[in-house]
Amino acid sequence: MLSLFALPDVATAEIKQAASGLPLPRFVSLRSDKVNMRTGPGFRYPIDWVYKRLNMPMEVVAEFGTWRKVRDFQGTEGWVNKAMLRNKRTLAVTGQTRTLRFNSDSKSPAVARIEPSVTGKIIRCRENAGWCKLSFGKYEGWLRRVEFWGAYPTEKIN
């Protein structure tokens, strides 16, 4: 018989500390190109989604033992074993096709055009800054934070 338990309200941007000692919520990425998302925190729960995208960004919103409740960039939530996650910071482009810029300025020359849902690596975000330096394969440049998912609005990432 399965038991029910209450999960913390993670709808707010308030940072809390989880039992692991790490902050909640926080961003991570998928460690493998095949990761099962389950309906609950355990192998007995059914698989709801199978992600086939190494380095896809996820947001950890709750913890239960070795299980992490995660949310993807489209808002889908479920449970993933912590062994399938890593602290590497990645991002997913949101909305429409975006222009990766040479500098953190909308008038800066274009480096590349990046399609929606494409994932990349976060190189640097300054605290309280509107732009972050990112890489997409051989292309490196700047995007505004509002154009991708994977970093909090005022967060500093080195």
CB-based contacts of 145: which residues, under 8 Å, 6+ apart?
Answer: 125, 129, 130, 131, 132, 151, 153
Instruction: Provide the pLDDT confidence category of residue 5 given band limits of 50, 70 and 90.
Output: very low
Q: How confident is the model at residue 107 (pLDDT cuts 50, 70, 90)?
A: very high
pLDDT tens digits along 30-70: 999 999 999 999 999 999 999 999 999 999 999 999 999 99
Residue 144 has pLDDT above 70, yes or no: yes
What CATH number was assigned to the domain covering residues 22-88?
A: 2.30.30.40
Q: What is the pLDDT of residue 15?
A: 57
pLDDT in tens, 15-32: 577 778 899 999 999 999
**pLDDT confidence of residue 19:** 76
Question: Where in the chain do CATH 2.30.30.40 domains reside?
Answer: 22-88, 91-149
User: Do 55 and 16 form a contact (C-beta atoms < 8 A)?
Assistant: no
- Does the domain made of 91-149 have the CATH classification 1.10.10.10? no
